[in-house]
Amino acid sequence: MAKYDNLREQILDQARHLLVEKGYINVTMRKVAHLVGCTPTSIYLYFENKDALIHSLIEEGMDILHQKIKECLAAESDSAAQFKRMCHSFLEFGFTNPEYYVVMFQLPTDEMVPYPAEKYRRARSNLQQFADVLHQARGEKQPTIDPLVDATMVWSLLHGATSLYLAQRIDARIPKELFLTRTVDYAASMLNPIHQSS
Amino acid sequence: MAKYDNLREQILDQARHLLVEKGYINVTMRKVAHLVGCTPTSIYLYFENKDALIHSLIEEGMDILHQKIKECLAAESDSAAQFKRMCHSFLEFGFTNPEYYVVMFQLPTDEMVPYPAEKYRRARSNLQQFADVLHQARGEKQPTIDPLVDATMVWSLLHGATSLYLAQRIDARIPKELFLTRTVDYAASMLNPIHQSS
Amino acid sequence: MAKYDNLREQILDQARHLLVEKGYINVTMRKVAHLVGCTPTSIYLYFENKDALIHSLIEEGMDILHQKIKECLAAESDSAAQFKRMCHSFLEFGFTNPEYYVVMFQLPTDEMVPYPAEKYRRARSNLQQFADVLHQARGEKQPTIDPLVDATMVWSLLHGATSLYLAQRIDARIPKELFLTRTVDYAASMLNPIHQSS
Amino acid sequence: MAKYDNLREQILDQARHLLVEKGYINVTMRKVAHLVGCTPTSIYLYFENKDALIHSLIEEGMDILHQKIKECLAAESDSAAQFKRMCHSFLEFGFTNPEYYVVMFQLPTDEMVPYPAEKYRRARSNLQQFADVLHQARGEKQPTIDPLVDATMVWSLLHGATSLYLAQRIDARIPKELFLTRTVDYAASMLNPIHQSS
DNA sequence: AATGAATGAGGCTTCATTCAT
DNA sequence: AATGAATGAAGCCTCATTCAT
């Protein structure tokens, strides 16, 4: 029992590790097994096939992020505060859990990892819920501006920031914490009106 | 000579095509050769190996983007206008050239496609130059705020927007053009001061 | 004990079932165990290995056929009648027990399922005994013609008819019963002299 | 060119050899390659996949048998003579070409080797044509008896005889030639009326 | 009496690459 | 300038089997 969970988790760990360190195409049953120190066959004792393994990875991440976001809602009563906290949480989640972030948001899922549509909806809802809070906070002040577009742009910002950070394309002179808080500020500026394009 | 360039370009074309349509894992020498109508062996007459082929793809893209950005500088005299135009150009480049964008910014190049450091520097400079203009426009008005951070955030926004768009994760109800201009507006808001984090 | 036999028989049942429904390649310890509802390991409590399992199947079939043929001898006193009844029984055995027939006569046993020579002799004797009756019936009337050859030909006919029937290569317009009785008639024609080859 | 055909034929040869000697389940790309003395990969230069290899084997056999039967028709003018000659040819084909016979008539094609329906029809037509001649010869003398049933029984006999012979289940004391001619005689007895079942 | 955990061998297939021509 | 022939490594996966419990 202990051993069961142990090996299963080792497999997940090493798969995650490979994914982040070497990219998806380097996540092979053989390589994972090698890192774990078991036979490729053994992996099939815990996962039906490679897809199932990847899906487990994705779901793990979804759960964690979901939990984090729920905590943000509970921690604050003000919509704007909730929003900012959520932005921060999202970034922090990505920054500190590259293994999950990559698998959740950067996998070219279309062709590579056929993922049950139902589960995808859940994945999106995670971000949708995220967007909803912006709605609320924005809605109170700016009912005229389409909040869907703005939410999408906030999402773009957060996703882009995380992606570049994880790809180590952020200038080394910028401290992580600074980048993080300033990005949240930039996102929070969405709570206020934007100047129309000239 | 004409034939030489012809085949070489056909190879690049089909490789790009495969990359976008079927994903990186489906870019194989065999499949490229099949699409071109030549032998896999023939590809090696023009590219040392698969990595070299991918790198050529990347460089092609870098050149095109570089050209586009240079044109923005020439087209406007005002820094702010240059900046907005560049943002727009960058987005449009990504939106209309997914083949290049994917290979340039979304390939987990680290280990997947070992890329000579020297070439990477050139790649970065492309975006650096992009950031420089923000420097100028911002610098004139807000010399006190570290422009490097803000430039990075703009880049994050543009990269995130493009990535989500290409991954078809933008809500279908949002027209492409609207998304594009609004993102530019959001980026342009960087030209003005941001409210400090509370 | 009851449980012992129960599981053992379930294993044989499902192995037979798999053999007929899905073909020999689909008779795997895993699949048998799955159908039975036990572990692959458990099968090894009752059968030394896969070969032993297959052999048990073969022997089961041999016993049943043996019994059937013995009954034919008891049911009739006339040699010719015995012979016809045996032909009929053999065909019916094959038609109604494809699971056994396939494993008994259509498995390329030579190398696929190494079968102890001693057991093979017993298998042959089953058919030999079958041939003996022809001997008797024929012998009485045509002592000059080698009966071994004719017996072999009858066997060929019966085996061919059964094989084609089980492979569903008999024209669908021919009713099973008609095919069966006519084949027996054809076999019975062996009881009479055959015209020499011209 | 010479080498091309050479390797392709070596592959077919060894595949056929394995098939007869060790049974279908032992025909693996690895084993064939090993016997030929090449890499498994090389097989894929000549055959799209394993199925294609097996199909080639089947078609080879079909062609040869088809040719043989056509010759029988040409060699004789009398229907009865044609029929007997065809029986003999069929048996001889099977006896001397076990590689082809096994693959053509003894492969559990349903599950193991998905074979294009169209090609199967061709395979059957080979035997159908065979049956037609019996029709003719029979038709002249016995128009009242359903010739389809009798043809099927002849086919059963020939198929059974060949199968048992190839499985080496024919008593060693019976010379091949005797068995062959006597089987033809037995088949030829179909040209005459059969006594009804009592 | 039964199983959970594990494995080595091998199944089919595709890859990037080379070498002689 | 191009290719035909070939390969070793590796991809995913399933097999029969064992061993400790």
At D132-189, the pLDDT tens digits run 888 788 765 554 457 788 888 999 999 999 999 988 888 888 899 999 999 999 999 9
One digit per residue, the tens of pLDDT, for chain B of length 198 reads 444 478 999 999 999 999 888 888 899 999 999 999 999 999 999 999 999 999 998 888 888 888 998 899 999 999 899 999 999 999 999 999 887 888 888 776 555 566 666 666 666 666 677 778 887 887 655 544 567 888 899 999 999 999 999 888 888 888 999 999 999 999 999 887 554 444
Sort out which chain B residues have CB atoms less than 8 A from A112's CB and list them.
23, 25
Collapsed DSSP state (helix, strand, coil) of residue A173? coil
- Supply the pLDDT for residue A145: 52
Planar angle of CA A110, A111, A114, nearest 5 degrees = 70
Tokens at residue C149, please? 């050859």
- Gap between the Cα atoms of D196 and D198, Å rounded: 6
8 Å CB contact between C174 and D152: yes
Tokens at residue D146, please? 């359903």
Do the two chains A and B touch, given a threshold of 8 Å on CB pairs and at least 3 pairs?
A: yes
For residue C114, what is the DSSP state? -
How many angstroms separate the first and last alpha carbons of chain D?
65
- Supply the pLDDT for residue B2: 44
8 Å CB contact between D17 and D99: yes
By mean pLDDT, which of A37-41, C104-108, D95-99 is the weakest?
C104-108
Do the two chains D and C touch, given a threshold of 8 Å on CB pairs and at least 3 pairs?
A: yes
Rounded to 10°, the helix A79-96/A147-166 angle is: 30
Tokens at residue D119, please? 């090609």
Q: Which fold has domain A58-191?
A: Tetracycline Repressor; domain 2 (1.10.357)
- Gap between the Cα atoms of C56 and C54, Å rounded: 5
Distance in Å, residue D59 CA to nucleotide E17 C1': 34
- Does D49 score more than 90 pLDDT? yes
- pLDDT level of residue D195 (50, 70, 90 thresholds): very low
Tokens at residue A71, please? 């905590």
User: Which CATH superfamily, name and number, covers D55-191?
Assistant: Tetracycline Repressor, domain 2 (1.10.357.10)
- pLDDT level of residue D1 (50, 70, 90 thresholds): very low
- Gap between the Cα atoms of D20 and D11, Å rounded: 14
- Supply the pLDDT for residue A159: 94
Distance in Å, residue B114 CA to nucleotide E17 C1': 18
> At which residue do the structure tokens 């709605």 appear?
A135
CATH assignment of C59-191, among 2.60.40.10, 3.40.50.300, 1.10.357.10, 3.50.30.60: 1.10.357.10
Partner-chain residue, chosen from B155, B183, B190, that has the shortest CB–CB distance to A153 = B183
- Gap between the Cα atoms of A5 and D173, Å rounded: 65
- Gap between the Cα atoms of B120 and B126, Å rounded: 10
Collapsed DSSP state (helix, strand, coil) of residue D59? helix
DSSP H or E stretch at residue C175? none
- Does A195 score more than 50 pLDDT? no
- Gap between the Cα atoms of A189 and A196, Å rounded: 14
8 Å CB contact between C11 and C49: no
- Gap between the Cα atoms of B123 and C10, Å rounded: 67
8 Å CB contact between C93 and C157: no
**Number of residues in chain A:** 198
- Gap between the Cα atoms of A112 and A28, Å rounded: 13
Q: Of all nucleotides in the shown strands, which has a C1' nearest the CA of B43?
A: F2
DSSP strand E in chain D: where?
none
Tokens at residue B24, please? 């990186």
- Supply the pLDDT for residue D139: 67
Q: B15 or A105: which carries more pLDDT confidence?
A: B15
Cα–Cα separations (whole angstroms), residue B31 to B11, B16, B104: 10, 12, 21
- Gap between the Cα atoms of B136 and A16, Å rounded: 42
Sort out which chain D residues have CB atoms less than 8 A from C183's CB and list them.
153, 156
pLDDT in tens, A55-72: 999 888 888 888 998 899
- Supply the pLDDT for residue A2: 40
pLDDT in tens, A107-152: 766 666 667 766 666 666 666 777 788 878 876 555 445 677 888 8
Distance in Å, residue A44 CA to nucleotide F14 C1': 10
In angstroms, the separation between the Cα of residue D7 and the nearest Cα of chain C is: 27
**Mean pLDDT estimate for chain A:** 84
- Cβ atoms within 10 Å of A69's Cβ, excluding its own: 21
- Gap between the Cα atoms of C147 and C138, Å rounded: 7
One digit per residue, the tens of pLDDT, for chain C of length 198 reads 444 478 999 999 999 999 888 888 899 999 999 999 999 999 999 999 999 999 999 888 888 988 998 899 999 999 889 999 999 999 999 999 888 888 888 776 555 566 666 666 666 666 677 778 877 887 655 544 567 888 899 999 999 999 999 888 888 888 999 999 999 999 999 887 554 444
Size of interface C-D (CB pairs under 8 A): 135
Q: Measuring CA to CA, which residue among D111, D118, D122 is closest to residue D63?
A: D122
- Supply the pLDDT for residue D103: 82
Q: Which fold has domain B57-191?
A: Tetracycline Repressor; domain 2 (1.10.357)
Residue type, C39: T
- Cβ atoms within 10 Å of C8's Cβ, excluding its own: 17
- Does D113 score more than 80 pLDDT? no
Return residues with beta carbons within 7 A of strand F: A 27-31, 40-41, 44, 49-51; B 3-4, 7, 38-42, 44-45; C 26-31, 40-41, 44, 49-51; D 1, 3-4, 7, 38-42, 44-45
Tokens at residue A195, please? 């100047």
- Gap between the Cα atoms of A149 and A154, Å rounded: 9
Query: What are the boundaries of each domain within chain A?
Result: 1-47, 58-191
Cα–Cα separations (whole angstroms), residue B107 to A23, A32, B114, C112: 9, 21, 11, 49
Q: Measuring CA to CA, which residue among D99, D102, D84, D85 is closest to residue D159?
A: D102
User: Which bases of strand F sit closer than 7 A to a protein CB?
Assistant: 1-20
- Gap between the Cα atoms of B47 and B27, Å rounded: 14
CATH of domain D1-47: 1.10.10.60
DSSP conformation letters of A97-142: -HHHHIIIIIS-HHHHS---HHHHHHHHHHHHHHHHHHHHHHHHH-
Residue at shortest CA–C1' distance from F3: B39
Q: What are phi and psi of D144, to 5 degrees?
A: -85, -25
- Gap between the Cα atoms of C87 and C93, Å rounded: 10
Collapsed DSSP state (helix, strand, coil) of residue D195? coil
- Supply the pLDDT for residue B195: 43
Sort out which chain A residues have CB atoms less than 8 A from B189's CB and list them.
189, 194-195
3-state secondary structure B92-158: HHHHHCHHHHHHHHHCCHHHHCCCCHHHHHHHHHHHHHHHHHHHHHHHHHCCCCCHHHHHHHHHHHH
Same fold? A1-47, A58-191: no
pLDDT in tens, D57-87: 988 888 898 899 889 999 999 989 999 999 9
Give all chains having 3 or more CB-to-CB distances under 8 Å with chain D.
Answer: C
- pLDDT level of residue D126 (50, 70, 90 thresholds): low
- Gap between the Cα atoms of A20 and A26, Å rounded: 10
Instruction: Work out the burial of residue B95: count CB atoms within 10 Å of its CB; fewer than 13 is exposed, 13-18 middle, 19 or more buried.
Output: middle
**Mean pLDDT estimate for chain D:** 84
pLDDT in tens, B25-54: 899 999 999 999 999 999 999 999 999 999
